[in-house]
Amino acid sequence: MKQIFKRIAMYVLGLAGAYPTVLTDKRELTELIRKLHPMSPGIELIRLGPTGDGGYLVPNDLVGIEACFSPGVGNISKFEKNCADFGMRVFLADKSVDRPAGFHKKFNFIKKNIGAITSHDFMTIDDWVDSSLPGSKSDLLL
């Protein structure tokens, strides 16, 4: 009977836009916000890719990176082109498109999604890296 009353009360309160719950301790919330606050990486950041979606700020420390692995490329490939322009081999994977949006001689595309298992439509990131760069111990970018 107690559970039924509780469900009815929660339903009625939900209709009113009220969702009773245990309050988070103010110290815990402040600590979480502090941990999520942006921090300086101690190295200059550069932008690769387009302004807006598909672009990323990365440390300006790309010398020696052999390859970039980019899962889920969709219809934007400017980030990957910028990586290729830095001399990296670029491995792209996405089952939802037939090819990357752009072309570069350093692009290697596979029409699969990256997931928890390797199957017909999926490949684990370990299997993807191992099949793309067998035995490589170089620096890589994901």
- Pairing between β-strand 113-114 and β-strand 89-93 as defined by DSSP bridges: unpaired
Inform me whether the pLDDT recorded for 28 exceeds 80. Answer: yes
Alpha-carbon gap, residue 141 to 125, rounded angstroms: 12
User: How much is the average pLDDT of 12-20?
Assistant: 80
User: In the prediction, which pLDDT does 92 show?
Assistant: 96
Inform me whether the pLDDT recorded for 25 exceeds 80. Answer: yes
pTM attached to this predicted model: 0.72
User: How much is the average pLDDT of 49-62?
Assistant: 88
- Pairing between β-strand 45-48 and β-strand 65-71 as defined by DSSP bridges: unpaired
pLDDT, tens digit, 9 for 90 and up, residues 62-97? 999 999 999 998 888 999 999 999 999 999 999 999
